[in-house]
Amino acid sequence: MTDVNEKSRIFREMCLKADTERDKGLTTPEDIKRFDDIPYGADEKWQILDVYRPKSHEGEKLPVIVSIHGGGWVYGSKEIYQFYCMDLAQRGFAVVNFTYRLAPENRFPASLEDTNTVFAWVKDNAEKYGFDLSNVFAVGDSAGAFCLSVYACILTNPALASDFGKFFAPADVELKGVGLNCGLFTTTDYDESLEAYIPEDLTEHAEALRMLDAVSYITPAFPPAYILTGNADFLVDAPAVLTSVLDKNSVKYEFKVYGTKESPLFHVFHCDIKTEAARQANDDECGFFRGLI
């Protein structure tokens, strides 16, 4: 455990330094109205969220995007993702940006439990924040894309929902579409980054890996997906197993690798909203969502 904790501490420090530099100078856009630090659960440290809406749509119900942040299961918060999420809101969406309980302090299925609680919160608070429940979307990057792919399977595969039933009852919500960005989608090839998240008990460890193998649970009911990565992302090859299964199940999707040999793009490049590459990727993904409305 000490080794995992130390690895997590180092990873958190490294990521925070990089993300702080990435977002240096950014402020809340003038055209965005934000609602901050809203509790969605009992844990006042971790179970909090923000809602962002474009001011130009005051009083209107808007399609909603729920963002599941990345960070290798051990890092991340709504504060780190606020500017990316407000950038999405400027494209005509109400965006829910939440913090979830991190590993190794909180292992499987904590992040999925919190994700489920957030979607239940969205339904319960639709009138107050102007959410159009007929158009609920979600995005996730890296570990967030992993989490979202599993959660989408929970909502659309009764067998997996039953397995997770010992932890939580799936929220009564339908995902109109998902954005799976720079993610991992299978546990078949055990990824070391899962070490902090998976239970240490060997029996529970094996069961968690089985339940987290999203590609094993995709059915034709899986929501339409926009899948993106960067050509220099260390996970650039990861979507191949996902798109193969989506094809077999006739699930609508678009897959795009951004970047060129001359201008390579790396992991979660789309979160760096100062760049043209991020603008294009986020425009494309939100355009895909609008095409489903």
Smallest Cα–Cα separation from 101: which of 196, 24, 20, 232? 196
* Chain mean position to CA 14: 21
Smallest Cα–Cα separation from 114: which of 43, 203, 14? 43
pTM for this model (two decimals): 0.97
Do you find a cis peptide bond into 29, omega within 30 degrees of 0? Answer: no
Please name the amino acid found at residue 75.
Answer: Y
Range of the domain at 38: 2-290
Q: Residue 170 — φ and ψ, nearest 5°?
A: -55, 140
- Return the beta strands (E) in the chain as ranges: 32-39, 48-54, 62-68, 94-98, 131-141, 175-181, 225-230, 253-258
Print pLDDT tens along the chain (293 aa): 458 999 999 999 999 999 999 999 999 999 999 999 999 999 989 999 999 999 999 999 999 999 999 999 999 999 999 999 999 999 999 999 999 999 999 999 999 999 999 999 999 999 999 999 999 999 999 999 999 999 999 999 999 999 999 999 999 999 999 999 999 999 987 667 789 999 989 899 999 999 999 999 999 999 999 999 999 999 999 999 999 999 999 999 999 999 999 999 999 999 999 999 999 999 999 999 999 99
The whole-angstrom separation of Cα 111 and Cα 31 is: 31
Write down the residue that tokens 């180092």 correspond to. 10
Question: How close are the terminal C-alpha atoms of the chain, in Å?
Answer: 46
The tally of domains found in the chain comes to 1
Longest C-alpha distance within the chain, in Å? 53
Sign of CA dihedral 245, 247, 251, 256: positive
- Burial of residue 163 (CB within 10 Å: 0-12, 13-18, 19+) is middle
Write down the residue that tokens 């439990």 correspond to. 113
Smallest Cα–Cα separation from 100: which of 125, 86, 85, 80? 80
Give the domain CATH number at 195: 3.40.50.1820
